[in-house]
């Protein structure tokens, strides 16, 4: 009887262990479309660097255990300092990215805790992500093994042929604009990432790796505010959205 009780006690303890979830923030882009000498991740919105908003959002997300930043080698000291300045206690390290987004993502995955069960990968140029939306990605990742932040298309989508004429019109009900964070069961993500490198497969986001190897990815609506900073005009939009959020918070 004692052995039986001990078994169930051990089982209950095992089931109560919360999964370890790591975050990888990709911030190594050259910002060629943005222009200027200062990369877009270091541009400021309301006196904070763009990438600091992502760091703070993941810091404030309870289920996230650690944060890895992937960046240019010369920027590593900036992230070490930023973690100190803004109190990013979950910041573990910054690592150098690769020649492609896919290589940079793999560098970040490799730097996560070996005990991590799940990994969320986020574009550091998306400063308006919120802890609530990150938690939505976490919950769907745990449930489905892969989840992708997305926004349902508001517009009618036309696919073009090779010379710029309409090829067909997609049903808007099934069209989503992919974003980040994207969350994955880590062992499966590693298997896909290393298989892609071996097979010479290049993709533009991690969800595409799962698509390529025929694993399902759950789309999670994170709203239209989760924009990506690509051009200087996006900074203006992001500032307006952040001011609107601040005003709403002050009124509640």
Please tell me the distance from the alpha carbon of residue 120 to that of residue 98, in angstroms, as a whole number: 18
CATH numeric code, 19-159+171-251: 3.90.550.10
Q: What is the pLDDT of residue 17?
A: 74
pLDDT averaged over every residue in the chain: 92
pLDDT tens digits, one per residue of 60-103: 999 999 999 999 999 999 999 999 999 999 999 999 999 999 99
How distant, in Å, are the alpha carbons of 81, 129, 225 from that of 189?
30, 22, 27
Handedness of CA 93, 94, 96, 101 (dihedral sign): positive
**Buried residues in 205-235 as b, exposed as e (16+ CB within 10 A):** bbbbbbbeeebebbbbebeebbbbbeeeebb
Query: For residue range 193-245, what is the model confidence (pLDDT) as tens digits?
Result: 999 999 999 999 999 999 999 999 999 999 999 999 999 999 999 999 999 99
Residue-range domain boundaries for the chain: 19-159+171-251
Alpha helices, DSSP H, located in the chain: 2-16, 50-59, 76-86, 101-111, 131-144, 186-199, 206-212, 232-251
């Amino acid at each position: 009887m004692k052995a039986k009780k001990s078994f169930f006690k051990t089982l209950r303890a095992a089931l109560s262990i919360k999964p370890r979830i790591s975050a990888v923030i990709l911030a190594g882009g050259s910002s060629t479309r943005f222009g200027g000498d200062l990369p877009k991740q270091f541009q400021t919105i309301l006196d904070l660097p763009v990438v600091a908003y992502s760091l703070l959002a993941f810091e404030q997300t309870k289920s996230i255990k650690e944060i890895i930043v992937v960046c240019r080698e010369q920027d590593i000291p900036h992230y070490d300092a930023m973690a100190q300045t803004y109190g990013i206690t979950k910041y573990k390290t910054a690592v150098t990215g690769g020649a492609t987004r896919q290589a940079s993502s793999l560098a970040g995955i490799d730097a996560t805790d070996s005990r991590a069960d799940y990994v969320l990968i986020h574009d550091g140029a998306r400063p308006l992500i919120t802890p609530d939306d990150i938690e939505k990605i976490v919950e769907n990742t745990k449930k489905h093994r892969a989840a992708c932040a997305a926004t349902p298309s508001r517009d009618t989508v036309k696919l073009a042929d090779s010379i710029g004429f309409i090829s067909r019109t997609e049903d808007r009900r099934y069209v989503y604009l992919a974003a980040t964070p994207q969350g994955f069961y880590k062992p499966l993500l590693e298997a896909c990432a290393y298989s892609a490198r071996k097979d010479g497969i290049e993709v533009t986001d991690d969800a595409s790796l799962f698509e390529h190897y025929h694993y399902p990815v759950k789309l999670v609506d994170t709203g239209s505010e989760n924009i990506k900073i690509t051009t200087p005009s996006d900074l203006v939009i992001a500032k307006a959205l952040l001011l609107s959020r601040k005003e709403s918070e002050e009124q509640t």
